[in-house]
């Protein structure tokens, strides 16, 4: 696993752990109650709007009934006066209005049913809100009591935070003393046996040192070969699996994001090999040099993403102000510093 991927995973794990620690059940209960009240207000607003629509239809129907009655009266008066044509016009208008009035009945019945349904729903919802309000304080009190009881129990059981820290510090001190004593005993034994008096015949390192050196040399050579092939336009080695169809999204820790084309993967792999070698060798100068070059490469080759762009980052680079010791400590905590690149 590369340094880029390891660093990205570490940052994601630490973010999730931070959110878990920040979550407070008491605040969650208060927020839920506030959301219930807001939803209740929305339901009441909807009831008022529905009732307003119902009243408008009912008023319209009443006006039409009144107008039909007036037209019928006018038709009778016209007939009594011998004006049949006026009576026909009045009756015609009355008939048209009557038809329109009848069409309003289904609408009035439908909206009336909706209003009734809303009223019943609001009553049930208000009962739920009231029940939640009654339980809210008891839930918060139960949480605070259980949290205090748990903390006290951990302390009494010897597993509290401070108690555990003290126990671990004592254990580490005992381990160091034991190792120091064992080392002293081993040196005394070797001095007595005369083994340490023998001259050093070989200036080479151990097999493990030779293996680590060979791995670092091979990584550096492969990175340089890849860079030379890219510069000379030769065929590049088989590409690594694409992270996304839209290119490689790289985030600089505590800073901005950039999107690089897939063709930049070879150069990124080369920088990755250099960072791995620098971290393993504890070479602060080489680490900062490689980090500065890869950061400059990302900024010059990639396109900076807008702050509102929520594209996930496939690679996260350490920030320029992060020391080699900080990055090494993070990798050692995840047991990745000794894995092959």
Q: pLDDT, tens digit, for every residue of 188-214?
A: 777 777 666 545 444 455 555 555 556
Indicate the helix (H) or strand (E) that contains 252.
strand 248-252
* Residue from 337, 338, 339 nearest 325 by CA: 337
DSSP H or E stretch at residue 249 = strand 248-252
Most confident of 35-44, 224-233, 251-260: 35-44
- Distance between CA atoms of residues 144 and 118, nearest Å: 38
Per mean pLDDT, which range of 62-66, 126-130, 211-215, 292-296 is the poorest?
211-215
Cβ atoms < 10 Å from Cβ of 331: 20
Question: Residue 1's pLDDT is what?
Answer: 58
Which has the closest alpha carbon to 269: 238, 300, 244? Answer: 238
* Of residues 58 and 11, more confidently modeled: 58
How many C-beta neighbours within 10 Å does residue 144 have?
Answer: 12
Q: What is the DSSP string of 273-323?
A: HHHHHHHHHT-HHHHHHHHHHHHHHHHHHSEEPPTT--PPPSEEEPPTT--
Q: For residue 250, what is the DSSP state?
A: E
| DSSP code at position 175 | H
Is residue 122 within 8 Å of 44, Cβ to Cβ? Answer: yes
pLDDT, one tens digit per residue, over 82-123 is 888 998 998 999 999 999 999 999 999 999 999 999 999 999
Percentage of the chain modeled with pLDDT above 90:
31
H-helix segments, 23-83: 25-80
- Rounded mean pLDDT, 41-53: 92
Q: What is the DSSP letter of 196?
A: G
Residue 239 pLDDT grade (very low, low, confident, very high; cuts 50, 70, 90): very low
Per-residue tokens: 24: 């407070």
pLDDT, average across residues 148-154 = 76
Q: Token pair for residue 257?
A: 């994001």
- Nearest-Å Rg of the Cα atoms of the chain is 40
- Domain-by-domain residue ranges, the chain? 25-155, 209-333
Looking at the predicted structure, is the pLDDT value of residue 183 above 80? yes
């Amino acid at each position: 696993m590369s340094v880029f991927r390891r660093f990205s995973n570490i940052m994601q794990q630490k973010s999730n752990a931070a959110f878990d620690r920040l979550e407070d059940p008491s605040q969650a209960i208060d927020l839920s109650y506030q959301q219930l009240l807001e939803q209740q207000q929305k339901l009441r607003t909807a009831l008022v709007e529905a009732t307003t629509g119902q009243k408008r239809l009912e008023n319209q129907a009443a006006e039409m009934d009144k107008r039909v009655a007036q037209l019928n009266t006018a038709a009778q008066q016209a007939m009594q006066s011998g004006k049949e044509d006026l009576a026909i016009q009045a009756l015609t208008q009355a008939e048209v209005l009557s038809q329109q009035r009848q069409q309003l009945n289904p609408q009035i019945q439908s909206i009336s049913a909706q209003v009734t349904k809303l009223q019943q729903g609001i009553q049930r919802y208000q009962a739920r809100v009231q029940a939640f309000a009654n339980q809210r304080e008891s839930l918060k009190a139960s949480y605070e009591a259980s949290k205090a009881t748990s903390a006290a129990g951990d302390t009494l059981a010897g597993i509290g935070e401070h108690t555990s820290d003290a126990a671990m510090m004592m254990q580490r001190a005992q381990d160091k003393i034991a190792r120091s004593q064992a080392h002293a005993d081993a040196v005394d034994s070797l001095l007595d046996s005369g083994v340490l008096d023998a001259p050093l015949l070989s200036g080479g390192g151990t097999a493990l040192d030779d293996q680590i050196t060979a791995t670092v040399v091979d990584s550096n050579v492969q990175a340089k070969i890849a860079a030379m092939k890219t510069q000379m336009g030769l065929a590049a080695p088989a590409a690594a699996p694409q992270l996304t169809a839209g290119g490689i999204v790289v985030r600089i820790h505590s800073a901005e994001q950039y999107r690089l084309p897939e063709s930049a993967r070879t150069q990124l792999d080369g920088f990755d090999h250099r960072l791995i070698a620098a971290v393993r060798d504890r070479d602060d100068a080489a680490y900062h040099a490689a980090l500065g070059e890869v950061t400059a490469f990302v900024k010059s080759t990639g396109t900076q993403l807008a702050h509102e762009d929520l594209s996930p980052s496939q690679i996260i680079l350490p920030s320029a102000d992060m020391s080699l010791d900080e990055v090494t400590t993070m990798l050692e905590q995840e047991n990745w510093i000794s894995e092959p690149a």
